[in-house]
Structure 1
Amino acid sequence: MTERVIDRPRSRGFLFLDSHPAGCRQLVSDMWEAVAAPATPPSADGPVALVIGSSAGYGLAATLAGLKRAGIRGIGICFEKPATARRTATAGWYRTAATAELAREAGRDMVFLNGDAFSDAMKEQVADLLVERFGGKLDYLIYSVAAPRRTDPETGTVHASVLQPIGASSRTKTLVFDDEGAPEVKEVETAPAAEEDIAHTVAVMGGADWERWIDHLAGRGLLADGFATAALSYIGSTLTEAIYRKGTIGAAKAHLEGTARALDKRLSELVGGRAVTSVNGAAVTQSSTAIPGIALYVGLLRGVLDERMVPPTAQLSALWDQLTGVRPLDLDEEGRIRLDTWELAPEIQAAVTERWQAATTEDIAQLADLGWFHGEVHRLYGFAVPGVDYGAPVDIEVPWPGQPA
C-alpha cells in the first residue's frame, strides 16, 4: 500500500494535479444513490451496452444510471492514468474503480477498458469481448467523448481541437479564482479559428469516430435487432454561443448531429434501430470548465435555479428511460432528444442574462452560487465531498477493475 494524506488539492486554475481516492469513491456512491431505482427490479441478464467515455461527466452519469435504472451490463471505455511516485491516479481512474465495485454489488457484469477509444485496436478488442462474454449482440451504445486530440486510424494524422469562435474575435466575460479561492470576473478576447483549426476540431469532436464505431460493430454483425445509440451533446445559452455553439465546438456538434441523422436512417434499415443526439443541460465537468465564459454562466444559472438545477444523473436516467421504452422518445424538430429544456426556458434565460450583464468582481457573490460552483469543481477530483476525512491517510494505488491489487 502507498498511503498519503491528501488534505488539499494542488491546482492551476481549474486544472487539478491530484485527485482523492476516497473522495472520488464517495462521489460515485452519492451519484449512485441519487439515481432512482426502477419500478421493477432489472434482471441479471439485462441489455448489453457500450459506454464510450464512461469515467467522467455525462458519460459517468450514463454508466451509473444505466447500471442502476436500466439494468445494463456490458463495457465502459475511458482513458485514465494510474498513480505514480509523484502523483495520484487521475480522478477518472478512481471513479471507474468505484463504479465497478457498485456494479458488482448490484450483480451487473460490467467490464472497464482503459485505452484510446479512437483506435481501431480498441474497437476490435470491444468486438471480441462482446462475442466472448456478452453473447455477441449489443443493444445500446452511448457516445460521450470529450478529448483534446485524435489520431485518425487510417491516415495517422493527429487532429487537435481548439476552443475558438468562427469568423470574428469573441470577447466575453469569464470567471476565475485565485489560489485562495477569491473570484474575479474579467473579460477575455479569443481570436477566430483558422479553417484548418475548424476542420481539426470537427475531426476530434464531431461524428467521425462515432460512425466508425458503428461501422466496426455492424461489420462484425454485433448490432442487436432494435439497437439504439445516442451521442451526448450540448447547445447552451446565447450568452456563450460565440465561443461554443457558433464556435469550433459548435461546428463539431453540428457534424455530430448530421452524423446522427445519417446513422438513424442506416440503422433503421439495417436492424430496425435508432441513432440520436441527446442534448443535455449545463453541468460542471472537467471539459466544460476549460471553455471561456462557461464557469461564469453555470455559476449564474445555479444562482437563478438553486436546487431546481437538474443534475447529470437525473438527465441520463431520463435518457435511459427513453432509449429503453419506459417513456416514448421525445424528439425536437431536428430529431434530437432534449434534456435541456429546464435550462433554456425563456424566463430562466432572461434571469441569467440580467445577472450576466450586471456581473462584476464586486457583486458576483450576490449573483452566482460561487460556493456551489467552487465545490463542484473540487468534487470532480474527489475534494470537498461530504463525509470524507481528508486528514486521514489514503492508499493512492487503487487497482484497475479486474486487475489484482
Structure 2
Amino acid sequence: MPAFAAEAKALDPAATAWVLTATALVLFMTLPGLSLFYAGLVHARNVLSVLMHCAAITCLVSAAWFVAGYGIAFGDGSGSGGWFGMDLWFLTGIAVDTLKGELPASVHVAFQMTFAIITPALIVGAYAERIRFGAVAIYSVLWVLIVYAPVCHWLWGEGWLAANGVMDFAGGIVVHATAGAAALVAAVMLKPRRGFPHEMPLPHNPGITVAGAGMLWVGWFGFNGGSALAAGGSAGMALLVTHMSAAFAGLTWMAIEWSKHGKASSVGLATGVIAGLATVTPAAGYIGAWAALPIGIAAGAICFRMTHLVKRVFGIDDSLDVFAVHGVGGALGTLLTAVFALPALGGVGYTLAERGFGEQLGWQAIGLLAGGLWSAAATWGILKLCGALLGGIRVGAEQEAEGLDVTAHGERGYDLKL
C-alpha cells in the first residue's frame, strides 16, 4: 500500500518487544487506570456509569480504528494535501510481514489504537453524571474519526503540521489539547450539574482515584516511552522525564493546597501528578533530564490555578477538570517544548534544524490553535447531531438525581443495603 511503499528497513526485534509492551501499558491507562481515577471522583450513584463509559469507548473506538481511523491517521495523505490519509481502511494491505519503519505494521496499528482509545475517554470527565449513554457512544465514534484521526495525521502521519516542523512527541496536541477543547465545549453545552457551583460534590471514594492515578502513572511510561518507537536513549529519557515531571507537579500541587488550606488532599496530589504527566507528554523525547523540574513545577502551579478559574470564575462545570488539567497541561507542554528542546538547554534541537526559537514557538502555537479549534468546532457539531437524533443529550432531572448507574444501566456500583 502507498503508506508502506517506501519502507525498506529490517525488523528490529528489540523495538518490537518494547512497543508491544508499551501497547499493553497504554491500554492499561484506560482500563483500568482512567476508569478508576474518574470513578472515585463522582457520586456513588454514578460510579458504574463512568466505568461503563470507558469500557464502551474502548470497544467502539477499537472498531472505528479498524474500519477507518488508522487509515485516516496513517494512510497516504498526498491526495488530501496532508490533511488526512486516504487508504488502509479496514487495515487492507497490512499482513504479518508488513513493516512500518522497523516495526511490524500490526504492532504500529495496535499501539496507535490505544492512543485513539484514551483520548475520547479523557473527555468522559467533562460530562460525567449528566449525559445520555447513547450520546456518549455516538459522540465518541464520530469524534475519533472526525477530530482525533485527522489531527493525528497532521502530526504523526506526515501531514501539514509535521511538514512545518511542529513537535509533539506523544500527544500534547493530538491527545491532550484536542480532548481539553472538546471537554470545555461539552461542559458548556450540557450545562452544569444540579446544585453547581454552590454544591460542589466531594469525591465519593478518593482511594479508588489514587489507585487509578497510580495506574495512569505506570501506564504513562508506555505512553511517552513507547512513542520513541524504539528501545533506546530517546525512550529512556522520555521515561525518566515523565516520572520526574509527575513527581514535581504532584509536590507543587500538594504544597499549594497545604499553604492555602493547612492540609494536603490525596485527590489533589493525584491530580497534580496527572497534570505533570500531561504537560511533559509533548516534550518528553526532545528535552534533557533537568527540564522535568521546571515543567513539573509549572504544570502543578498553572493547572491548579486553572481548576479554580474554570469552575469558580468562569462558572463552567467541567466535572472532573479535563480542560484545566489535560487541555491546559497539553498546551503548556507544547509551548515549553520550543524552549527546552533547544540544544543550549539540553534538548535535542528542532525537527527543522534551520529554525529559530521564535519561529518554532509560533508554529507550536499554530499547531495548538489548529487542533484545539478543530476539536471545539467538531464537538459542537457532533453534540448538536446527537441531540437531534436522541431528542437531547442530557438526562432528565429525575434520572440525574437517582443516578446513571440505575437509570441508564439497570445496575448499581455498590449494594448499600445492610
TM-score, structure 2 as length reference: 0.30
Greater helix share, structure number: 2
TM-score, structure 1 as length reference: 0.30
Greater strand share, structure number: 1
